[in-house]
Amino acid sequence: MGMDYSAIKDWILREDSFDPEKLGKCEAVMSLGNGYLGLRSAAEERYLNETRGLFVAGTFNKFDENEVTELPNAADMTAIKLSVNGEIFSLTEGAMEDYARELNIRTGELKRSVIWTSPKGTKIKAVFYRIVSLKRLHVIAQRVELTPLDADVKIEIKSGINGKMTNTGSQHFSDGDKRFYDKRVIQFVQTTGQSKIDFVDTTVHKLALDGEVLPMEAEVYIERREIFAGYNVEVKAGQTLSIEKYSTVYTTRDLDAEGKTAADLQKLALETARELEALGYQALLEESARQWEEEVWNLAPIEIEGCEMDEFAVHFAQYHLRLMVPAHDARMNIGAKGLSGEGYRGHTFWDTEIFLLPYYIFTDPKTARKLEEYRYLSLPGAHAKAAHNHYKGAMFPWESAWLDDGEVTPEYMDVDILTGKPNKVWSGFIEQHITSDVAFGVWQYSVITGDEDYMEKYGYELIMDTAIFWASRLEKGTSDDNKYHINDVVGPDEYREHVNDNAFTNYMAHWNMQKAMEYYHLLKKEKPEIFARLNEKLNLEEAYPQWENGCANLYLPVPTKENILPQDDRYLSCRDIDLGKYKAQEHVGGITRDYNLEQINQIQVSKQADVLVLFFLLEDIFPQEVKKASWEYYEKRTLHDSSLSLSTHSVLACDMGEMEMAYDLFRKAAAIDLGPFMGSSNAGIHAASFGGVWECVVYGFGGVRMLGGRLRINPSLPEKWTKLSYTIIWKGQKLAVEVTKDEVHVTNLTGTKKVEIEVNGEARIL
Ligand code: BGC
């Protein structure tokens, strides 16, 4: 009981029972949003173990000097306290029948219904609907229908804005100004403590009895950090009382709020509230659903024949990929939990470039460009980090928040099982591959989209500035091999700290410097004005010999005679233990309950894909036998304790022709948030894993890859699937790909340019 997949063919994910102890999962995986707002799907009535959450992308705040900036949990406007004949409506009291909560991922509507019998025996049918509009970024709309089933009742409603929300105890907002207009519209202005962003929250209710609007004045209440309206309605048996609640959030950080004060936004919000009320819930739902159709389902359709659950899984991924992305504003990026929870504090990681960006590049290049502009706009933080560490160029923060925040990785997290002290998080100091991941994202974006304007304004500079960092980062080794080394890092595999010559880090740094050299020549020859501008800014003439020297002398780990590429300089000589127990674990991170990180460092065990991500990114530089032997070696030793890992292994398994394994790993990746395990997503969905699910389908089984600037499609379907269709956009041309067991059809839907493509090893021109 819990997750119910019986309605997935109608695009509906259902929860079929209510467990007050396990609220987090559905709050997160059924969350609503539009990239500006993210709303956890906590119930209207409140529960002890709930985690309500409303996040506005980019509104970072620092609670105090000892904490890093985080995305604050904004005032709650979805709670509605209901009493029936004086008894509080709550599913932990009395009895319930026919409970269901359903998320329709096609329309973005959440519905919850139940027949509830109060402890004193009053029976009432309650149905709750809500959306976060995809059409109107600031809008949340709710509708509640209450029908007493066998007696007349008095219903009491208390509903408004609750500004007491915190991020696990950290209160980011001032108490603020509260105001009622016409005893109907409620407004609350709160300001974040350090970043001084004003949030203007506004809500208004509309009540109707059997469709007849009730012209009611509210009883008004203003309390500390809270403002709400009260209504009392008598409802006869069989009548339906509907309560519609329209809420908006505007902030002074909004792109179009530039130059506006909170007072301007208050006025705007007031006008909007009246407009929303006039439109009503149904019209708002319909226009938002149309937007979903246009913006997501028609834009990037994917069909899988042969398994409804797999098709739903990829649609579910697309649903969340839209919720999490701030497509409206380049000053912000995607958080590791999207906007669905406090986990990872709303911060952006390498997850964006490596796991998420491919989806947007191939389906929605405009949004992909925004994500890439963000990196350019956050260069000040990257420069500051490099300077702080005595390096040159742009050293990107491992975790990023607001543009000039710089490094925001918290210093301590979790517990060291041996010492009982919090674990130091080394990623913020030494997980440095993020810098070349950013450069790789730029290159990937530019090659697949052909967006030269981006490259000229931002891209060339980013690739060169990051290469300058790498040249300054290289160290002469202690061994006398005369090589440069990159010592004391954390590679992608976070179970290994303070390692030297992590293969991923070194190869990617090499790639980054090499790309910068290539662009140096290209610009000098073909775009001398841009060359001159960048030379003046970055001193390319001085940088070039350093890149050349760096590339020629950087140590690149070599495969063993068994064809295994060493993950770092010690991995292969560490102790092997029986990992069976951890591989079979239900919860991730089991090994950290038996060993502390120092001990794990001495074991041949990986938290997540590391060398294999390298094969995935730089696929054409490693021979197949190295990939195969390494895949087999590391897959056995990888616990997939990070949600980023399974999808990479699945895609690689496809490349190895291990189709059963590939499919098994894909199903596991898809189950991270969608699966039945009710504790897996409490702190928020796993954003990168949704990108990974799309990658499994389109890169893995669909066989798409950009290799050295060329498009390649080598599909191979899992046993169960009879057909896979998807679209991708390659240099502005939208291609529809249809794969069956024996054929591949590619159609150029745009058809304004010739497209060169390699399908199953054969060069084709469309
Ligand atoms: C993973 C990182 C990832 C981060 C955010 C960590 O557990 O090890 O690779 O970037 O989560 O998703």
Find out whether the beta carbon of 642 lies less than 6 Å from any atom of ligand 1: yes
**CB-based contact 31:41 (threshold 8 Å):** yes
688 lines ligand 1 (CB under 6 A): yes
Task: Decide: 368 in ligand 1 pocket, CB within 6 A.
Answer: no
Distance 627 CA to ligand 1 centre (A): 23
CA dist., res. 689 & res. 673, Å (int): 9
The mean pLDDT value of the chain amounts to 96
Considering all CA atoms of the chain, what is the largest pairwise distance in Å, rounded to the nearest integer?
89
140, 270, 279, 327 from 284: Cα distances, Å: 9, 17, 7, 21
Q: What is the mean pLDDT of residues 367-382?
A: 98
Q: Is the pLDDT of residue 372 over 80?
A: yes
What percentage of the chain exceeds 70 in pLDDT? 99
Find residue 123's DSSP bridge partners.
Answer: 117
230-245 confidence digits (pLDDT tens): 999 999 999 999 999 9
Average pLDDT over residues 403-427: 92
Q: How far is the CA of 312 from the centre of ligand 1 (A)?
A: 25
Q: Is residue 379 predicted with pLDDT exceeding 70?
A: yes
437 CA distance to ligand 1 centroid (A)?
Answer: 14
Indicate whether residue 504 lines ligand 1 (CB < 6 A).
Answer: no
Question: Would you state the structure tokens that stand for residue 368, as one six-digit string?
Answer: 């992909």
Ligand 1 mean position, distance from CA 61 (Å): 22
Kindly give the number of the ligand 1 atom that is closest to the alpha carbon of 344.
5
pLDDT of residue 108: 98
**Angle of the 528-538 helix axis to the 503-526 helix axis, nearest 10:** 130
Closest ligand 1 atom to 494 CA: 8
Q: Looking at ligand 1, which residue's alpha carbon is closest to its atom 12?
A: 336
Looking at residue 91, what is its pLDDT? 98
| Residue 298 CB burial class (10 angstroms; 0-12, 13-18, ≥19) | exposed
Tell me the pLDDT tens digit for each residue of 625-649. 999 999 999 999 999 999 999 999 9
Q: Is the CB of 351 under 6 A from ligand 1?
A: yes
- Give this prediction's pTM: 0.98
- Nearest atom of ligand 1 to the alpha carbon of 350: 10
Q: Please tell me if the CB atom of residue 349 comes closer than 6 angstroms to any atom of ligand 1.
A: yes
Instruction: Give the residue-averaged pLDDT of 701-706.
Output: 96
Q: What is the pLDDT of residue 476?
A: 87
**Can you give the pLDDT at residue 60?**
98
Residue 249 CB–ligand 1 contact under 6 Å: no
413/82: higher pLDDT: 82
Ligand 1, atom 7, lies closest to the CA of 642
* 546-580 per-position pLDDT tens digit: 999 999 999 999 999 999 999 999 999 999 999 99
d(CA 585, CA 598): 21
User: What percent of the residues of the chain are helix, what percent strand, and what percent coil, each to the nearest 5?
Assistant: 35, 25, 40
pLDDT surpassing 70 at residue 334: yes
Determine the pLDDT at residue 506: 98
pLDDT at 480: 66
Which alpha helices (DSSP H) does 554-700 contain, by range? 580-583, 597-600, 611-617, 624-637, 645-656, 659-674, 687-695
Mean pLDDT, range 337-365, rounded to an integer: 98
What percentage of the chain has pLDDT greater than the value 90? Answer: 95
Q: Cβ atoms within 10 A of the Cβ of 656, count?
A: 16
Per-residue confidence band for 388, with pLDDT thresholds at 50, 70 and 90: very high
Q: Out of 398, 494, 591, 613, give the residue to mutate to test ligand 1, the one with the largest number of ligand atoms within 8 Å of its CB.
A: 494
pLDDT in tens, 113-164: 999 999 999 999 999 999 999 999 999 999 999 999 999 999 999 999 999 9
Report whether residue 344 contacts ligand 1, using a CB cutoff of 6 Å: yes
Read off the pLDDT of each residue in 106-118 and give the average, rounded to a whole number.
98
Average pLDDT over residues 406-410: 96
Whether 39 shows a pLDDT value over 70: the answer reads yes
Alpha carbon nearest to ligand 1 atom 1, residue = 642
Q: Which atom of ligand 1 is nearest to the CA of 608?
A: 8
Burial class (CB in 10 A: 0-12, 13-18, 19+), 531: buried
Is 494 near ligand 1, meaning CB less than 6 Å away? yes
pLDDT-based confidence at residue 482 (cuts at 50, 70, 90): confident
Report how far ligand 1's centroid is from the alpha carbon of 644 (Å): 7
Q: Which residues contact 496 (CB under 8 A, 6 or more apart)?
A: 490, 502, 567, 568, 571, 600, 601, 606
- For residue 732, how many other CB atoms are within 10 A of its CB? 13
pLDDT of residue 183: 87
Give the closest residue to 728 by CA, choosing from 361, 446, 454, 370.
Answer: 361
Q: What is the pLDDT of residue 479?
A: 63
The protein residue with its alpha carbon nearest to ligand 1, atom 6, reads: 642
Cα 386 to middle of ligand 1, angstroms: 22
Closest by CA to 75, choosing from 191, 214, 238, is 191
- Catalytic residue annotation: 494
> Cβ contacts of residue 698 below 8 Å, gap of 6+?
302, 362, 704, 726, 728
Q: Is 609 a pocket residue for ligand 1 (Cβ < 6 Å)?
A: no
